[in-house]
Amino acid sequence: MTLAFVTGIAGSDLLPEERAFVRDAAPWGLILFRRNVVSTEQLKRLTADFRDAVGWNAPVLVDQEGGRVQRLTAPNWPKYPSGLRIAAAARLAGDETLIADVAQVMAEDMRLAGITIDCAPCLDLYIPGATIAIGDRCYSGDPQVVAAAGRQMANGLLAGGILPVIKHLPGHGRAMVDSHHELPVVNESLDLLAASDFAPFVALADLPAAMTAHLIYKAVDPDRPATQSPIVIGEIIRGLIGFEGLLFSDDLSMNALKGTLGERARATIAAGCDMALHCNGLMDEMRQVAAEAPELSGKSLERANKALNSVPAPSHMDREAVLARLAAALAVHDGAASI
């Protein structure tokens, strides 16, 4: 039996207590952060240990966007640019496949370390004045540019054998406060949101996996954040946007959510998320989430299996040539920005 949650762990090795927890609680997957990452060889050992403990070839997730959100980074991996910077550089250089090709290089980094899922691309809109928690993680403030860049990123990850997770449905760009610390409230009308923030997600609704946002959308549900709102998930994410794939929550330990970790997990699954995500590696919280996570079954199990089965065998690419193109595009972009 597998439960409908993804867990974090405390450090770079699976501790005996964590091994016992993983064996008994049977999470669907593991998510990694900087505290878990040392090198490719260390990650290969860690991910293999996790899979041995859980008893199957379970998914391993990471947030590897580039820019500020890059868990695999220097000195053992390249430092990749943020979404905003690479999208602008690709446009300026006239390199129409740069984002996809760089994403495939990133996928190779992850795949060789035993990682199978990347929580990217970020399809939120760049909104001047909004919280920097999103900021340059966005590709643009133009929904069409975001959709095109996000499609490239997703396609590149898939070409490299990694499952992409689009985020943060139905749009985190207008948050004025950081949802890691408090609950953002978006006051714009449904018509405006549908024409702008939701549009990139509509364009990529065919992709197999996505992640929710911890925001209140007053025009849709003034009382509950999207992650815990059956109205937002049912009427907007599954309805208006048309996303039918595997739906993860954002991290349940973020302070935008209230209540115990068990209460957060229960509300999240009840609202319609397929998978509860808990990231900080604190054992007491992990146990609370596991106690409330249901068995992965029914439609959620179908979505999870379909998502995993959607990833093709990785295709060949010239890694050094791609990185050289990236460096050239960034040099042009950064030179123009300094003028």
**Alpha-carbon dihedral angle through residues 269, 274, 280, 284, given to the nearest 10 degrees:** 50
CA distance 173 to 127: 6
β-bridge partners, 301: none
Task: Please indicate whether residue 181 is annotated as part of the active site.
Answer: no
Where do we find the tokens 């993804």? 6
Distance of CA 68 to the CA centre of its chain: 14
CA nearest to 251, candidates 238, 241, 265, 263: 265
Catalytic residue among 250, 274, 278, 333: 250
Catalytic residue among 13, 142, 178, 180: 180
Task: Please indicate whether residue 180 is annotated as part of the active site.
Answer: yes
Contacts of 188-196 with C-beta under 8 Å, sequence gap 24+, read: 188/219, 189/219, 190/219, 190/220, 193/217, 193/219, 194/240, 195/143, 196/125, 196/143, 196/171
What residues act catalytically?
A: 180, 250
